[in-house]
Amino acid sequence: MHLRVLRSYAPLIAALFTAHPLAAQGAARPAGARQSAPSTRATAEVSLTLVDTAAQRAAGKPAVIRFDYGQPHLRGRRLNTDSLVPYDQVWRLGANAATLLTTDVDLTIGGVRVPRGRYVAQVLPTRTQWTLILQAETTGAASVNVARYDQSKDAARIPLELSAMASPLESLSIWLVPSTAPGAPSGVLTIAWGTVQLRAPWSVPQ
């Protein structure tokens, strides 16, 4: 006997969340490159399997939510200084090329709707509140530079829950931690660096 599931999301059957340099995944190191770069590249990814999703069946692969970011390190510095993530100024949320959020599905992050697509992610830190800012990225370039911030291009502004960690984290890290609860896929987005921890729930609307 077969059990049919109509117009619903299956639980997550595959999930991968990472926060490590891409070089660890087999990326080639350029000839003559130094063994220790000032910043590395990292990813955070969740792979979702959804029931009765025509687009997913056509693509022949699971839907993916992915952050790709340059991962700076403290190296003895203090966060939230004039030279490193100053308060009240939009920060690129990473190092070197832009931090990119790519989602194959519509999302809700921190109560804010984020249609499927590709976004440049930045943050606005203050002493009491950090805000995740998403702007549509339409060039498709593998490496995107962050131009001068233009608020008129904001696609979403998402409040992040701010808390302090007892022990500082040396490297900027982003996680997309999936929930094991039944129903539509959901989880928590976590961003951490130094003693700063930022969180927002995410989910796939039904």
pLDDT digits (tens, 9 = 90+) for 128-173: 999 999 999 988 777 788 878 999 999 999 999 999 999 999 999 9
Cα 190 from Cα 133, distance rounded (Å) = 15
Strands across the sheet with 112-114, in order? 40-48, 63-71, 99-103, 117-125, 130-136, 154-178, 186-203, 107-109, 112-114
In percent, the amount of the chain with pLDDT more than 90 equals: 58
Lowest-confidence segment of 80-84, 96-100, 152-156 by average pLDDT: 80-84
Cα 119 from Cα 100, distance rounded (Å) = 6
| For residues 37-65, average pLDDT | 75
Query: What pLDDT does residue 14 have?
Result: 39
Q: Are 75 and 93 in contact (CB under 8 A)?
A: no
Residue 195 pLDDT greater than 70, yes or no: yes
- pTM (2 d.p.): 0.77
